[in-house]
Amino acid sequence: EIVLTQSPATLSLSPGDRATLSCWASQSVTIYLAWYQQKPGQAPRLLIYDSSNRATGIPARFSGSGSGTDFTLTISSLEPEDFAVYYCQQRSNWPPTFGQGTRLEMK
> Which spans of this chain sit near another protein (rule: CB under 8 A)?
32, 34, 36, 38, 42-46, 49-50, 55-56, 87, 89, 91, 94-101
In sequence order, what are the beta bridge partners of 63?
A: 74
Buried b (16+ CB within 10 A) or exposed e, 32-45: bbbbbbeeeeeebe
Contact 90, 32 (CB under 8 A): yes
Question: Which is closer to another protein, CB of 14 or CB of 42?
Answer: 42
To another protein, the closest distance from the beta carbon of 5 in angstroms equals 12
Which amino acid, one-letter code, is at 37?
Answer: Q
To another protein, the closest distance from the beta carbon of 19 in angstroms equals 19
To another protein, the closest distance from the beta carbon of 99 in angstroms equals 8
